[in-house]
Amino acid sequence: MDLPTNIFKAALKEGRAQIGLWSTFADASVAELLAGCGYDWIMFDTEHSPSGPPEVIALLRAVAPYPVTAVVRPGWNNPVEIKKLLDAGAQTLLIPYIQNADEARAAVSAVTYPPKGIRGVSGSTRATRYGAVADYAKRANEEICLLLQVETREALGHLEDIASVEGVDGVFFGPADLAASFGYPGQPSHPQVKAAILDGIRTLKKRSVPAGILSLDQDFLKDAREAGATFIAVDLDSGLLRRSAMARRAEWM
């Protein structure tokens, strides 16, 4: 059995836009439903959800038959947690709260086998198809896509250093945490926050580093795309469900 191709990583390398959706429900049926909706990628969040590796495996299995890439966000830049998600079969990870180049290098090391990294080696995991993928340990990094999340003013100050670390495939901006860092909690579309993110996206574009973002502000997302953002999450599952439910109820007031 061959190593599965990471179509998302290939698209980023080619500069093709990838439109995604955030998912916080630890439910395989929800994941399967979303997988058939035409998005390029779905981000399964374990930082701000009850999900852990067992739930992630179920989510990955649910979306596997569909032409969509599963992106998984661990709770922290923790090599043990990252190792578990990689062994579960995740090929694209979004690591939260990267503050500087040293933390970026630590994330790269966590997804990379020795001698270049510290990822533990196991020959019988879902990632290796339980030993069926030939030369997995030698080739795994060809298809692993590492995205780093910049979400503080401090991190923005180190953006170019973070983006320059070898092994980083893209940088993602988190408007909600950036807003809090700027002193505007709960205002992810504050003009100062938007300006800082758009400037960061332009900086990454000049360096040919893919930039990503999540926002419910569609005008902001259009500005981000214009600035050069490549992978854009345009909504989240819980928000879509709540807005739809409230709109239908409003029709019957």
Nearest residue to 149 via CA among 124, 187, 118, 181: 181
Cis peptide before 4, with omega less than 30 degrees from 0?
no
Give the DSSP letter of residue 76: S
Tokens describing residue 224:
């981000």
Q: Active site includes 190?
A: no
Contact between 197 and 178 (Cβ < 8 Å): yes
Catalytic residue among 29, 38, 48, 67, which? 48
Which stretches within the chain are classed as H helix?
Answer: 7-14, 28-35, 53-63, 79-87, 101-110, 136-143, 153-157, 159-163, 175-181, 191-206, 218-227, 237-250
Tokens describing residue 2:
């061959």
DSSP bridge partners of 149: 172
Rounded Cα gap, residues 149 and 77, in angstroms: 10
Q: Residues with catalytic annotation?
A: 48
